[in-house]
Chains A and B, each alone.
Chain A
Amino acid sequence: MSAVDAPTITGRRFRAGDASLQVVAGAAAFAACLLVGLIVWKLIDGSLPSIRHDGVAFVGRIAWNPVLGRELYGAGSFLFGTAVTSLVALAIAAPLAIGIALYLTELAPRYLRGPVTALVETLAAIPSVVIGLWGILVLAPTLRDHVEPALHSALGFLPLFGPPSQTGAGIFTAIVVLTIMILPIVSSISRELFLGVPRELKEGALALGVTRWEMVRGVIFPYARGGIAAALILGLGRAIGEAIAVTQVIGGGGGAAAIHWNLFGTGDTLASKIAGSYQGATTKLQISSLVYLALILLVFSLLMNLAAQWVVRRVARRQGTGLNRGGLA
């Protein structure tokens, strides 16, 4: 470059062009970092009144009482609702998603792989508000009339399967909706992981005379283990952060009444409580408490994200492959 950078007037002007593009582009990158910092700061700033009022006790307190003069807020019941819905949804979605990925990489005839992969990815493209609309108007009545009574009569001795809900809205419906929403995410990441398993390992195992399933269990799963863990963490993060569809189908409610083991009862998650309060929040403390809920949600999503990144990095380093392609999703 030094030959080009001859100290002529034009050369100097051109170098100014170089510098300015670099500065402008760098400023944009800096702005992105600033944005994330600003998000963290704004959420802390917005929840300060609530933090000053309740401190860390807010996180565990099971109460949501907006009645003026007796205002008392806490995140406990929403943490409970978030944990139940997202963990159960993940537990259902994980084996299904891995099954889909195995079908798409190992079993499906070649002409079906492309189309079925596209269809599964289309499921991820459906907006959550449309899933929620379907969930409350189609899925919920079906579950209430057919699935919930059957489960109640067969397994009603367990507290999990209590009396069916009145409207169909409830934790169970929310779990089904969340399962549908994280299924395509986990399966498409798993599919890419399985595609990355070296062919010679798979063929080597098959040549030893193991069946296809034994090859999957003995070669593919151990090879993709770390990546699957990362995919599950990302799926869990998605389930925890999903607000709209859950708000539409979970029925709502907070405080002690929302802590119960009946899957058919109503509840609320951190995200759905925030989304459901978009018109109702009036007092400063209530708004600040909602921001506090968002702050807790943000901390969760940051932890999930960093955990997934860490797992992927560790696996990539151990295997020395191109597993990490700048974030899995």
Chain B
Amino acid sequence: MSSMHGITRADMQAVHLPRRRAVNRVMEVLATLTALLAVAILVIVVWSVAKRGAGALDLNLVTKNPVPFAFGPVEQGLANAFAGSLVLVGLATLMALPTGILIALYLTEYAPRAVRAGVSLVLDVLNGIPAIVIGIFVFGLVVVGRGQSGYAGAFALACLMLPLVTRSTMEVLLLVPGALREASLALGVTRWRTTLSIVLPQTIGGVLTGTVLAVARVAGETAPLLFTSSIVGQQTEWSPAHALQSIPVAIFELSESPDPADHARAWAAALVLLLFILLTSLAARWLATRGRRRLSTSR
């Protein structure tokens, strides 16, 4: 391999050893500092949110609706945003999860090689499309004719979830031992029964992990909702037939406000969102290690 081209013979001579050691030391220190910087950024951001959010966090945040044009201290919260986020993310999961599992099943169990490569590429492309573009797409597809709605917002979120759910399901499906399939087929069980009742149940842990991660990802997404589910009233709304407020959109709007009281509510909502995402990510990590252990011991 010609990979040693970066190092000249002079470098290798012992004369330069102190200098080479010094360069090495400097680089090691620099690399360590970059890692330290990344962790420091995380700590600073999380600490900022925690400090400012904890001060503004109370029960009103989830029980009271916002009061428009409030003068002075009014008891208000973001109940509508919490309700809306729940409905939007729930609906999006309902749309993306079954579709994603089916696609993964098709790609791992049925699809010819070329089709699998093609569809995988399409999913990668979908995964790479910016969230704001997805929002504009759903705006053009649904909102232009029928107006904003929770369905439109949930569909936009589902577009973001689909590649994530599909990929994580595929990864676990590929881990399922072939012997398990063959044993089932050898007993005379048909292929579709084997797939649905032998192979698929093995993957529940992995599918759950992928779903949790996808939920954590889209729960914080603002861009797909701006054009699809953002023009809302101040009252709690549960029906996805209407546009629904959501936590990220509420934070986005409050952060642009000049009023410090609005900022306080934005911090509190950001803290709740961040806690939710960190806890779900941790849960997913835990599920993943557990599921992997189970699958690898069953082999």
Is there a chain A Cβ closer than 8 Å to B281's Cβ?
yes
CB distance from B120 to the nearest CB of A (A): 5
Contact: A237 with B128, CB < 8 Å?
yes
Contact: B251 with A301, CB < 8 Å?
no
Contact: A241 with B103, CB < 8 Å?
no
**B277, closest chain A residue (CB):** A125
Chain B contact patch, size range: 35 or more
Q: Which residues of B contact A261 (CB under 8 A)?
A: none
Q: How far is the CA of A265 from the CA of B94 in the complex (A)?
A: 44
Q: Which residues of A contact B266 (CB under 8 A)?
A: 133
Contact: A29 with B133, CB < 8 Å?
no
Q: How far is the CA of A39 from the CA of B123 in the complex (A)?
A: 13
Against A, the Cβ 8 Å flags (1 = close, 0 = not) of B7-41 are 10001100000001101100110111111011101
Q: Which of B45, B223, B256 contacts A126 (CB 8 A)?
A: B45
Q: Which of A32, A104, A243, A306 has the most CB of B within 10 A?
A: A32
Is there a chain A Cβ closer than 8 Å to B295's Cβ?
no
CB distance from A282 to the nearest CB of B (A): 13
Q: Which residues of B contact A33 (CB under 8 A)?
A: 118-119, 122
Is there a chain A Cβ closer than 8 Å to B127's Cβ?
yes
**A37, closest chain B residue (CB):** B122
Stretch at the interface among B54-62, B68-76, B202-210, B226-234: B226-234
Q: How far is the CA of A274 from the CA of B131 in the complex (A)?
A: 11
Is there a chain A Cβ closer than 8 Å to B48's Cβ?
yes
Q: Which of B52, B106, B140, B270 contacts A25 (CB 8 A)?
A: B106
Chain B interface, >50% SS class: helix
Contact: A291 with B136, CB < 8 Å?
yes
Is there a chain B Cβ closer than 8 Å to A304's Cβ?
yes
Q: Which residues of A contact B238 (CB under 8 A)?
A: none
Knowing A210-B12, A327-B124, the reply to whether A99 touches B34 (Cβ < 8 A) is yes
Q: Which A residues from 77 to 111 make CB contacts under 8 A with B?
A: 95-97, 99-100, 102-104, 106-108
Contact: B137 with A122, CB < 8 Å?
no
Is there a chain A Cβ closer than 8 Å to B188's Cβ?
yes
Contact: A298 with B133, CB < 8 Å?
yes
Against B, the Cβ 8 Å flags (1 = close, 0 = not) of A106-132 are 111000000010111011011111111
- The total of chain A residues at the interface (CB under 8 A) is 104
**A308, closest chain B residue (CB):** B128
Contact: B48 with A134, CB < 8 Å?
yes
CB distance from A169 to the nearest CB of B (A): 10
Is there a chain A Cβ closer than 8 Å to B152's Cβ?
no
Contact: A278 with B273, CB < 8 Å?
no
Contact: B220 with A127, CB < 8 Å?
yes
Q: Which of A27, A43, A97, A275 contacts B137 (CB 8 A)?
A: A43
Against B, the Cβ 8 Å flags (1 = close, 0 = not) of A124-154 are 0111111111101110000000000000000
Q: Which residues of B contact A126 (CB under 8 A)?
A: 42, 45-46, 220, 274, 277
Is there a chain A Cβ closer than 8 Å to B3's Cβ?
yes
Q: How far is the CA of A38 from the CA of B109 in the complex (A)?
A: 26
Contact: A36 with B136, CB < 8 Å?
no
Q: Which residues of B contact A4 (CB under 8 A)?
A: 185, 188, 190
Q: Which of A17, A43, A122 contacts B190 (CB 8 A)?
A: A17
Is there a chain B Cβ closer than 8 Å to A209's Cβ?
yes
Q: Which residues of B contact A271 (CB under 8 A)?
A: 130, 132, 223
Knowing A103-B35, A137-B263, A244-B223, the reply to whether A132 touches B252 (Cβ < 8 A) is yes
Knowing A107-B32, A294-B133, the reply to whether A326 touches B167 (Cβ < 8 A) is yes
Contact: B102 with A36, CB < 8 Å?
no
Against A, the Cβ 8 Å flags (1 = close, 0 = not) of B245-259 are 000100110011000
Chain A residues at the B interface, C-beta cutoff of 8 Å? 1, 4, 14-15, 17-18, 20-22, 24-29, 31-33, 35-36, 38-39, 42-43, 45-46, 95-97, 99-100, 102-104, 106-108, 116, 118-120, 122-123, 125-134, 136-138, 180, 183-184, 187, 201, 205, 208-214, 216-219, 221-223, 234, 237, 240-244, 247-248, 271, 274-275, 278-279, 290-291, 294, 297-298, 301-302, 304-306, 309, 326-327, 329
Top 9 nearest A-B pairs (CB, nearest first) are A127-B220, A241-B130, A99-B34, A25-B106, A28-B102, A211-B24, A243-B132, A305-B128, A222-B3
Chain B residues at the A interface, C-beta cutoff of 8 Å? 1-7, 11-12, 20-21, 23-24, 27-28, 30-35, 37-39, 41-42, 45-46, 48-49, 52, 99, 102-103, 105-107, 109-111, 115, 118-134, 136-137, 139-141, 144, 159, 162, 166-167, 170, 185, 188, 190-193, 195-196, 216-217, 219-223, 226-227, 230-231, 248, 251-252, 255-256, 263, 266-267, 270, 273-274, 277-278, 281, 285
Please list 18 pairs of residues, one from A and one from B, whose beta carbons are closer than 8 Å in the complex, sorted by A's number.
A21-B192, A99-B31, A106-B31, A107-B32, A125-B281, A126-B274, A127-B221, A218-B3, A218-B5, A222-B1, A223-B3, A240-B130, A243-B130, A244-B252, A301-B129, A309-B121, A326-B124, A327-B120
